[in-house]
Amino acid sequence: MEDQQDSPTIPNQEDKTQTRREFFKEGALFTTSALAAASSADLNIRGRDSFLSGIWRFFSGEKPRIRNLTPDQSIVSTPTPISDKINDNNSLGNNAEAVKPTVEPTPDINRLNGNELLNHALGIDLESAARNKAETIIVLQAKSLTEINQALLVVTNKNSRADLLKKRYLLRMNKLESSLTPLTQEQLNWCKKEKIHPETLGIILDNQKRAEEIISDLLKYNSEQTEILTALENRIIKTDDPEQKKMLQQRIAEMKSIMFRPDILYQKRRKQIPDNFVASASLIMINPGGLAKLLVTETGGVQDQGMYMGFSHIGNGPAADNINPEAFPDAIPALEVISDRVSRLSGLKFTTNSITGSLRGNVKENESGGAIVSQIMPDGMIDLLSQLSNPNMETKDAHRNLNPLDINDATVITWLFLAQSTYVGYQDNQELYRYGYLRGENPKKDGISFVKIRRWAIEKWNQHGPQVNSILGSAQSYYDRFPD
């Protein structure tokens, strides 16, 4: 596990500070058309010319003035002020009395509750004093599991998020919510040893079965696509027509780019794994202990009794402000799709500025920034969710509607992201992949080491060697204590 040999099929990664978001910069599947398919926007434009000014244009022979609107603009009609005074030229409106605009009263935040309070908070700048005050009130009001989970969609201050997670933990340990997995004393002891807050492990255990179901559906569809892929490759071998070969190669590349684990077939072809190797959800999912350590490494900015709380620190300021558009040109459009999706699923009024993301830092050293929730870039998030939206894949409707900001769905998405591999391209007679996770040992003793594959999978997030070792170490420690 200490071996840090680079993948022979992954492009050079010269700087360890180039973190997991670099994964999306090269070979990302995300396209503008995918964005359009992933979101439907309703554009309501209201506006009218005033009655009097319309009459004036009619009699004067003036052509109607048409205002060109961009999709994000709207016109709100306002009454035209009318004066009973008419000037000597009988023209209308020159002496119209000015009407002062109506100022909406500021709501008393202490009287707001539920979604009204949450939407009020969403309209306040992130990390401002007013926003922190609103989030403090949200935390005080949230009592039930539903209220806490809804609050965690909105609250971004790390200390306020930690307070909500503590409330969640009390519900779990007092067995007040049947949907929350109770933790054994042995699991609590393991968490304390690993410095992982028990609620982080609890959230993961709550969602393990659901993640397994979704990954099983993805692998089934992947197997069906592999058969088609093999048939296309056989056609390439048989044809002598250069144009036909080129067309088939393009189709194969497109298919690989939307498959969940295209690397399995590639490794079989290279004799790196046995021909009869069959991937399953249990084989490509990191265990709960390893995932817990990954989450506290990425989002555990707050400690409680010496244990780091996953999902407590998920960003600093708006993700849109932290994204490097030169490195990730599709990230901000993806963020717009995510805000629309979260609004639809939650009933709240999100915008791109409502979603917090990681700091960009020094662009000379690190091009990433704007990663959200478990620190996945927005375009990578949409890319993954688009696979679940594929109508040709059989899965439950609920699995197609994951909410990226919900901590339960975000946990499932994190599992999916670590399990998937991505076809990057073809270079120097080799196919390039970002590898997905593989548990256990390779049955083919002279084949590729699954330990190396696990390391490469985690490096999609984090290329800092000691932290990768820590995540793998916790996965092994959890397996030793709770073998499955």
Tell me the three state secondary structure of residue 372.
strand
Which range (65-79, 254-268, 333-347, 428-442) has the least confidence? 65-79
What average pLDDT does this structure show over 64-88? Answer: 36
Q: Is 16's pLDDT higher than 60? A: no
> Which sequence spans correspond to the domains of the chain?
22-38+197-481, 109-179
Do β-strands 303-304 and 307-308 pair in parallel, antiparallel, or remain unpaired? antiparallel
Q: Is 396's pLDDT higher than 90? A: yes
Which tokens go with 95? 């002496």
Q: Is 148's pLDDT higher than 50? A: yes
pLDDT on residue 101: 59
**471: closest CA among 484, 482, 461, 458?**
458
pLDDT on residue 93: 44
| pLDDT band with cut points at 50, 70 and 90 for residue 106 | confident
pLDDT on residue 180: 98
- DSSP string over 282-326: HHHSPPHHHHHHHHHHHH---EETTEE-TTS---SSBHHHH--TT
**338: closest CA among 38, 43, 115?**
38
- Do 251 and 235 form a contact (C-beta atoms < 8 A)? no
Q: What is the pLDDT of residues 25-58, one digit of tens each?
A: 433 333 333 434 444 333 333 333 333 344 333 3
What is the C-alpha separation between 202 and 29, in angstroms, rounded?
32
Q: Is 176's pLDDT higher than 90? A: yes
Q: What is the pLDDT of residues 286-323, one digit of tens each?
A: 999 999 999 999 999 999 999 999 999 999 999 999 99
pLDDT on residue 368: 78
Tell me the three state secondary structure of residue 431.
strand
pLDDT on residue 108: 82
- The backbone torsions φ and ψ at residue 196, rounded to the nearest 5 degrees and listed phi first, read -115, 125
